[in-house]
Amino acid sequence: MVDQFVGTWKMVTSENFDEYMKAIGVGFATRQVGNRTKPNLVVTSEDGTVCLKSQSTFKTTEIKFKLNEPFEETTADDRKTTTVVTMDNGKLVQKQTWEGKDTFIEREIEDGKLVAKCKMGDVVAVRTYVKDPAGISPASLRMNTRRIDPEPSAFRGALEPPWVMNRGPGRGPSEECIVL
């Protein structure tokens, strides 16, 4: 049902997004960052569960859901919403409800592009994405954990490649997250 949306999409245009963010109550500083961010959207579907992952240098968010089933969502701007996603005439329609308010994000494929219309009242923002021809595999975007041999603490972090995320306090002595 959502097969036409599956893939990695790169945002190429964003129109009226600042007005949309104002309408849903996003503060000035977050709007400034949001307006400068061009996220990738990774859509996967497996066994009836759809995953929408928005990735940017500012923030990465991910929601997993089954069509027509309400779920709790924490949005990129930290709103706590009850969300339901449906298919309506080929459109993936996401309805977010919080504090007596509703907003809709309608995603559809037009001329091979993914067009997302963000609606709050009479304010509409349009964000357009093109499919990434490199087709980054969704599996390669997952955080993977691997075991490594302990090394002298004097060298820890000094010679690690940039894709290794150093462990934080309280993590095991030989476990690190690798971004693949």
Tell me the pLDDT tens digit for each residue of 96-154.
999 999 999 999 999 999 999 999 999 999 999 999 987 654 444 443 334 444 444 44
Integer CA distances (angstroms), 69 to 64, 81, 90, 94, 163, in order:
11, 14, 18, 11, 36
- Whole-prediction pTM value? 0.73
Q: What is the pLDDT of residues 159-176, one digit of tens each?
A: 444 444 444 444 444 444
Cβ pair 133, 112 in contact under 8 A: no
Q: Is residue 169 classed exposed, middle or buried when 0-12, 13-18 and 19+ CB atoms within 10 A define those classes?
A: exposed
The string of pLDDT tens digits covering residues 51-109 is: 999 999 888 999 999 999 999 999 999 999 999 999 999 999 999 999 999 999 999 99
Distance between CA atoms of 177 and 143, rounded to whole angstroms? 7
Q: Which domains does the chain have, with CATH numbers?
A: 3-138 (2.40.128.20), 142-179 (no CATH)
CA 56/CA 60 separation, integer angstroms = 6
Where helices occur in 55-154 by DSSP H, the ranges are none
Q: How far apart are CA 143 and CA 81, in angstroms?
A: 26
d(CA 70, CA 15): 29
- What distance in Å separates the CA atoms of residue 35 and residue 48, rounded to the nearest whole number? 33
Contact (CB, 8 A) for 31 and 117: no
Identify whether the C-beta of residue 176 lies closer than 8 Å to the C-beta of residue 142. no
Enter the tokens of residue 22: 């104002």
Phi and psi, residue 39, nearest 5° = -75, 155
